[in-house]
Structure formats: structure tokens, C-alpha cells
């Protein structure tokens, strides 16, 4: 009988016939070079860019509780995302032969989890490192404080990774409950940095340094103790499902089909099949809108995340009017990116319509009418989010034009999503090689094609936020942009 201690290594070797130690060193060398040549200067320039007095004031004394809110959002997102793609995922072959053997999954899946956790922790440390660096440059933050903040951010990153694993190991209903519980706890717990980033380092109260680090260390150790238990809870079919999805996504992504790659991670409906979905008495567009709402509720985590995302988008756009003009673009960019992503979860109807556009007619209305009917739900959510953000903004003393801008931008983001859904598969002509001194430049075209929706969204939000700050009359240009987006979508639909 093969010794249990040797089997995983042999299986791993068998699963990597083309991998050689030389390849590994080459990859390591490439990572090191890219980090030194591109990564380090990027971080440095990022830190320098944040040294503007207004930015420093904001970073050193952020709004009360905002870092805690950020951490809560990260933890809840980790739990939700874990249900679709978890951190403890092997390739399908290894999932069948390694995670399906007689060894404990606490052992066979520990390595992929630790790799994923290392990535999350590194990202968290990097983010805090940039902030700490800029504070060091601007207000001379001591090294001790920097180390404390890096330590806290590492612990926070680890906790997020464990929450991610937690999401993978839980069933869908339990995951939804856990996400709500985590959100409530996150809101109720005392803020992570109650006195701001610079003031919370305990410079004036040295004992706080030890206490803060000890508390975070304890949380990290406690969460680490949960990892083996969570790993052994993982179920084989779900592990294989995650592995196959990731494989399909990697395959699609490697040929430039990022949209298709992301589609593999769309959660499948699992509840609410008894709810009355088709309302026969309603006009067709309203019946479709009602059906879209119920359909979104059948993937509750996705639907709730999309709703929260659109609301956050509107709040980000409104808050861009409260930030210093040098920082408004950060909030507007985040709003554009998040809005485009969030409306994606409400675009299943658009995608389904496009899929049927080149086939024999199934519905008794034209593709354009069907598209219009499917836009009722996301447009309503956009308006609702804009109104809520306007009210919140008005209560916080932010000018009324901020709310109007949020509504306008949200509406334009829906149109951008519609245009993006109608674009179809990657055109083969984009893959034609373009010789350049730096190599084949066709990849640039493919990347631009992939991110055009995101770019347009960010241009819309940043452009209108700055334009409206300059003069509210500029919002009238939204009509022109809307018409252009509609024509763009119609052209793609006709072609499709």
C-alpha cells in the first residue's frame, strides 16, 4: 500500500507533467523582476500621490468608523464570494484524486487555502503600506506606528481569508445568514481605528500598541484554529464544481474571453421556485420587470450584493461632492467601477435577449422591445439608489446636485451595461497579430475590448461628477450620452 505521506506529492507530480523545477525558478524570477521594475515604482508613486494635504488630512483622520466599515464589507464579501469560488480549490484532476482520497481535507486542501490567504493578506498589507508610506512622507509617521498598522492589516487580511473559506464551506442558506450576522457584528463592534489612522497608533499611549496588536493577534489565531474544521467540512461535489468553474474561467480568460470567464462564476438559482413569477394581468414590459425581480431573488446573495453595490455606487457618487476636488475622482472612479459590476448582476435579461437575437424568434416581441422590457428593473433600481443617496447626502449637508448626478450616472450605467451585454463574443479580427517593437500588440486591442464597458462607466461617473461640480447645467449632456449609448446598443443588436 502506498504510504499516505508520499501519495499527495506523487499525485501532484503526475498532475503536472510539464512542470519542471526550472519553470518554477523562471516564474519566481519573473515575479521578482516585475515587482522590482513595475510594482515598487507603482507603490512609490501611489504613496507620493497621496501626500496632498487634503488627502493626508482625510487619511490621518478618516470619517468615524469607516475603516471598520471597509473591513466589514471585505468580510461579508468574502463569505458571499466563497459560495461561488472558494480559496481552497485545486484543479479538477487533483480534486478528484487528492481531495477525494483517504487523507483528511484539512491536510490536502491546506496548501491552496494558505496560498489564497497569503494573497489576500499581502493585498491588505500592500494597501495599508501605501497609506502608511504616504503618512510617513507627509507627517513623519514613526516606524513603530507603521509596523503596528501593517500588523493589524495583515491580521485583518487573514480574517477576511478565513471568512472566504467560511463562505465556501457553508450551505447557501447558512452562508446568507452568516453574511447578515457578520454585517451586524461589523456594524456593532467598536471601530478598528477609533481615533483615525495616525492617532490610533498609541504614540501618546504606548500601552495601546500592545493591546491593539494582542487583540488582533488573538482574533487571527482564533480564526486560524477554525481553518482545519472548515476544510474538513468542504463537500466533494462542490469542490469539483468550484474547480471546474475555475478551470473553465482560466481557459476562457486565457483566450481573451473575460466576460465568459466571469460568467462561469455566476451563481445558479436555488430557491423561490414556488413564487409566482409570471403575472398574466400586467402589460408585457411590467411582467418582464416583475419576473426579473423574482429571478434576482432566486440567487439571493447575488441579488442582495448587486442591490448593495448600486446603493454604494450612488453613495460614492454623492460623497464625491463632499470630498476635496483632488480626491473626488477616487470616489467617482470607485462608483463607476462598482456600478458597472453591480448592474451586471441585473443584466441576465439583456444577455438572454442577445443570445436569442440571431435565432428563430421565440418571443412575440422584437429583440429591441424585449431589451427595453428587461431594462425596467435595473433602471428602477438605479433611480431608487439615486434617490436614497440623495436623501442621505441632503441629510449630511451635501448639495442637492450630488443626488441628481448620482441618479443620472446610475441611469447611464444601466445603458452602458445594456450596450456591453449586446456586444457578443470577442471578434476574431481582434486577434490578428500586430507586430511592434515590443512584440505582438494585438493583446492591447483585446484588453481594450474587454474593459471598454468599465472604461466607459468610469468616464461617465468621473466626467459627470466633475462637470456637475463645475456647473449643474452640464448634467444636460447626459441626454446626448444616453442617446449615444442607446444607438450603440441598437447597432450591436442589429449586427448580432
Partner 1 sequence: MTPLAHSRDPVVGLDEASVVFHGSVLLPPVSAVAHPGEALAVTGGNGTGKTTLLTLLCGLATPTTGTVHVEGCVPDERSPSFRRAVAGMIGLPPFARDLTVREQLRLVALSWSARSTGLGTLGLLADDWLERVGIPHLADRFPHELSAGQLQLAGLALTLIRPSSLLVLDEPEQRLDSERCAHVAGLLAALRDEGRTLVVATHSDDIVRTVGTKTLDLSSR
CA dist., res. 111 & res. 192, Å (int): 30
According to the binding rule CB under 8 A, does residue 204 interact with partner 1? no
Segment near partner 1 (CB under 8 A); pick from 168-176, 214-222, 224-232, 273-281: 273-281
CA dist., res. 405 & res. 328, Å (int): 13
Q: DSSP string covering 250-271, please?
A: HHHHHTT-HHHHHHTTPPPP-S
Chain center to CA of 489: 25
According to the binding rule CB under 8 A, does residue 57 interact with partner 1? no
CB-nearer residue toward partner 1: 15 or 297: 297
Q: How far is CA 403 from CA 232, 378, 396, in A?
A: 48, 18, 12
According to the binding rule CB under 8 A, does residue 281 interact with partner 1? yes
Segment near partner 1 (CB under 8 A); pick from 68-76, 140-148, 183-191, 282-290: 282-290
Nearest in space to 354 (alpha carbons), one of 306, 291, 418: 418
CA dist., res. 243 & res. 247, Å (int): 6
Q: Positive or negative, the Cα torsion across 388, 391, 396, 400?
A: positive
CB-nearer residue toward partner 1: 149 or 347: 347
According to the binding rule CB under 8 A, does residue 286 interact with partner 1? no
How many other CB atoms are there within 10 angstroms of residue 415's CB atom?
25
The count of C-alpha atoms lying within 13 angstroms of the C-alpha of 129, restricted to the half-sphere facing its C-beta, is: 14
Least distance between partner 1 and beta carbon 345 (Å): 11
According to the binding rule CB under 8 A, does residue 280 interact with partner 1? yes
Segment near partner 1 (CB under 8 A); pick from 118-126, 266-274, 438-446, 470-478: 266-274
Segment near partner 1 (CB under 8 A); pick from 167-175, 189-197, 284-292, 320-328: 284-292
CB-nearer residue toward partner 1: 237 or 281: 281
Least distance between partner 1 and beta carbon 362 (Å): 5
CB-nearer residue toward partner 1: 299 or 312: 299
CB-nearer residue toward partner 1: 21 or 360: 360
CB-nearer residue toward partner 1: 4 or 358: 358
CA dist., res. 405 & res. 469, Å (int): 9
CA dist., res. 156 & res. 123, Å (int): 11
Q: Longest Cα pair distance anywhere in the chain, in angstroms?
A: 79
Q: Which of 277, 322, 467, 477 binds partner 1 (CB under 8 A)?
A: 277
CB-nearer residue toward partner 1: 71 or 304: 304
CB-nearer residue toward partner 1: 68 or 369: 369
Least distance between partner 1 and beta carbon 168 (Å): 20
Least distance between partner 1 and beta carbon 492 (Å): 16
Segment near partner 1 (CB under 8 A); pick from 18-26, 277-285, 312-320, 400-408: 277-285
| Cell 471601530, located at residue | 191
CA dist., res. 403 & res. 365, Å (int): 35
According to the binding rule CB under 8 A, does residue 269 interact with partner 1? yes
Q: DSSP string covering 416-476, please?
A: HHHHHHTT-SPPGGGGS--EETTEETHHHHHHHHHHHHHHHHHHHHHHHHHHHHH-GGGGG
- For residues 175 and 167, is the Cβ–Cβ distance under 8 A? yes
According to the binding rule CB under 8 A, does residue 278 interact with partner 1? yes
CA dist., res. 264 & res. 481, Å (int): 32
How many other CB atoms are there within 10 angstroms of residue 377's CB atom?
21
CB-nearer residue toward partner 1: 49 or 271: 271
Binding mask 346-365 for partner 1 (x = CB under 8 A): --xx--x--xx-xxxxxxxx
How many residues does the structure list for the chain?
A: 496
Q: Which of 6, 102, 273, 429 binds partner 1 (CB under 8 A)?
A: 273
Binding mask 287-316 for partner 1 (x = CB under 8 A): xx--x--xxx-xx-----------------
How many residues in the shown chain lie near partner 1 by CB under 8 A?
34
Q: In the complex, which residues of this chain contact partner 1 (CB under 8 A)?
A: 266, 268-269, 273-274, 277-278, 280-281, 283-284, 287-288, 291, 294-296, 298-299, 348-349, 352, 355-356, 358-366, 370
Amino acid at each position: 500500500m502506498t504510504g499516505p505521506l508520499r501519495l499527495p506529492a506523487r499525485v501532484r507530480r503526475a498532475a503536472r507533467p510539464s512542470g519542471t523545477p526550472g519553470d518554477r525558478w523562471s516564474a519566481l524570477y519573473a515575479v521578482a523582476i516585475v515587482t522590482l521594475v513595475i510594482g515598487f515604482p507603482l507603490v512609490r508613486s501611489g504613496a507620493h500621490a497621496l501626500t496632498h494635504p487634503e488627502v493626508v488630512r482625510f487619511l490621518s483622520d478618516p470619517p468615524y468608523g469607516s475603516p471598520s466599515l471597509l473591513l466589514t464589507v471585505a468580510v461579508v464579501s468574502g463569505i458571499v464570494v466563497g459560495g461561488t469560488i472558494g480559496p481552497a480549490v485545486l484543479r479538477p484532476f487533483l480534486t478528484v484524486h487528492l481531495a477525494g482520497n483517504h487523507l483528511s481535507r484539512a491536510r490536502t486542501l491546506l496548501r491552496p487555502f494558505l496560498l489564497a490567504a497569503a494573497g489576500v493578506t499581502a493585498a491588505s498589507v500592500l494597501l495599508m503600506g501605501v497609506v502608511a508610506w504616504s503618512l510617513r512622507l507627509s507627517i513623519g509617521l514613526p516606524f513603530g506606528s507603521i509596523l503596528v498598522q501593517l500588523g493589524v492589516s495583515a491580521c485583518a487580511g487573514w480574517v477576511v481569508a478565513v471568512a472566504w473559506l467560511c463562505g465556501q464551506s457553508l450551505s447557501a442558506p447558512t452562508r446568507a445568514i452568516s453574511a447578515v450576522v457578520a454585517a451586524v457584528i461589523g456594524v456593532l463592534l467598536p471601530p478598528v481605528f477609533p481615533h483615525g489612522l495616525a492617532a490610533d497608533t498609541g504614540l501618546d499611549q504606548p500601552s495601546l500598541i500592545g493591546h491593539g496588536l494582542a487583540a488582533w493577534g488573538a482574533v487571527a489565531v482564533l480564526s486560524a484554529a477554525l481553518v482545519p474544521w472548515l476544510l474538513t467540512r468542504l463537500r466533494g461535489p462542490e469542490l469539483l464544481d468550484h474547480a471546474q468553474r475555475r478551470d473553465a474561467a482560466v481557459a476562457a480568460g486565457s483566450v481573451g474571453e473575460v466576460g465568459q470567464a466571469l460568467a462561469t462564476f455566476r451563481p445558479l438559482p436555488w430557491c423561490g421556485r414556488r413564487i409566482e413569477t409570471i403575472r398574466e394581468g400586467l402589460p408585457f414590459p411590467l411582467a418582464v420587470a416583475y419576473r426579473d425581480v423574482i429571478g434576482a431573488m432566486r440567487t439571493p446573495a447575488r441579488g442582495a450584493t448587486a442591490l448593495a453595490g448600486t446603493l454604494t455606487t450612488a453613495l460614492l457618487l454623492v460623497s464625491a461632492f463632499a470630498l476635496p476636488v483632488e480626491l473626488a475622482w477616487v470616489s467617482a472612479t470607485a462608483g463607476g467601477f462598482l456600478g458597472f459590476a453591480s448592474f451586471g448582476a441585473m443584466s441576465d435579461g439583456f444577455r438572454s435577449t442577445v443570445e436569442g437575437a440571431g435565432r428563430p424568434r421565440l418571443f412575440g416581441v422584437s429583440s429591441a422591445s424585449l431589451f427595453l422590457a428587461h431594462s425596467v428593473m435595473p433602471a428602477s433600481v438605479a433611480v431608487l439608489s439615486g434617490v436614497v443617496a440623495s436623501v442621505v447626502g441632503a441629510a449630511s449637508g451635501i448639495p442637492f446636485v450630488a443626488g441628481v448626478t448620482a441618479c443620472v450616472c446610475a441611469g447611464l450605467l444601466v445603458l452602458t451595461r445594456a450596450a456591453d451585454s449586446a456586444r457578443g463574443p470577442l471578434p476574431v479580427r481582434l486577434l490578428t497579430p500586430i507586430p511592434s517593437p515590443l512584440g505582438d500588440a494585438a493583446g492591447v486591442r483585446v484588453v481594450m475590448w474587454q474593459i471598454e464597458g468599465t472604461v466607459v462607466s468610469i468616464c461617465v461617473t468621473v466626467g459627470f461628477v466633475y462637470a456637475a461640480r463645475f456647473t449643474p447645467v452640464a448634467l444636460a449632456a447626459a441626454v446626448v450620452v444616453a442617446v449615444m449609448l442607446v444607438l450603440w446598443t441598437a447597432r450591436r443588436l442589429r449586427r448580432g
